A and B are shown apart, each in its own frame.
Chain A
Amino acid sequence: MSVSLQSEAIDVAAEYAQLVGDSPGAAVATFTGYVRDHSDAHAVTELELEHYPEMARNVLEELGQSAAERFGLSSWRIVHRFGRLAVSETIVWVGAVADHRGEAISACELMMDTLKTDAPFWKREQGPKGEQWVASRDSDTERRARWQSRETQ
């Protein structure tokens, strides 16, 4: 039931153990995001993540709480990194514990889809042609919007 913003690598095994240890449930889902070695059209050698710390923490805590209410989670955790990240390093990890798989998986999906567009983090890629800020994707905005339309159904 918590958020971590950190510059150090995410210890996925330790995070998993703590998530389940807090509340052994029947269904556990997690998602781990890693730095890709390519963007749409070019190679990526390094990523730098800038963030707005206080707002990022508030947004992610509210997101975890709303996912917990919506899907009846007994435990959740969101970990997001900032700073310089090498290719293949972890960027983000979310986990959810529920009574059934549907709720646990949906909660992770909701947390990831919302986090992408609502949490104040910005990626800057380092590649062969130098540095460039990553542009937001319409596909991310669309995925985020799907959850809003489901809320009103």
Chain B
Amino acid sequence: MSEFQLDLSDISEASAPVDVAAIKKRLSQRGAEWKEALNQPNLVHALNHKVVFTDAVVSEGDELAFFPPMTGG
């Protein structure tokens, strides 16, 4: 697991709303590994600990996580 901070103003101009899809797109530009990991068909997105779709709007201070399908129990 890796954690880092992201400045939303780097993703959206003129403080337009930023959604999960926009963040995925920006992070995918960091390299092939990022692109592959973030474009897995079963990737789960959790915003502040709730599973969301990619159209969920992200605000400053939110916690966004990407992970594979869960396999606990």
Contact = CB atoms under 8 A, between A and B. Distances in A.
A147 interface: no
Contact of A136 (B1, B49, B51, B71): B71
Given A54-B49, A58-B49, A120 B67 contact: yes
Interface in B33-73: 42, 46, 49, 51, 65, 67-73
A120 B72 CA distance: 7
Nearest to A51: B72
Interface stretch (A7-15, A66-74, A96-104, A111-119): A111-119
Contacts of B49: 54-55, 58-59
A118 to B, nearest CB: 7
A122 B71 contact: yes
Interface residues of A, number: 27
Contacts of B67: 52, 120, 122
B interface secondary structure, majority = loop
Given A55-B49, A59-B49, A121 B72 contact: yes
A123 B72 contact: yes
A131 interface: no
B68 to A, nearest CB: 7
A132 to B, nearest CB: 12
A58 B51 CA distance: 12
A116 B1 contact: no
Contact of A91 (B1, B69, B73): B73
Nearest to B49: A55
Q: Determine which residue in B46, B49, B51, B68 has the highest number of CB atoms from chain A within 10 A of its CB, and name it.
A: B49
Interface of B: 1, 42, 46, 49, 51, 65, 67-73
19 contacts: A51-B72, A52-B67, A55-B65, A80-B72, A92-B73, A115-B72, A116-B71, A116-B72, A117-B70, A119-B70, A119-B73, A120-B72, A121-B70, A121-B73, A122-B72, A123-B71, A134-B71, A135-B69, A136-B70
Interface of A: 33, 49-52, 54-56, 58-59, 80, 91-92, 112, 115-123, 133-136
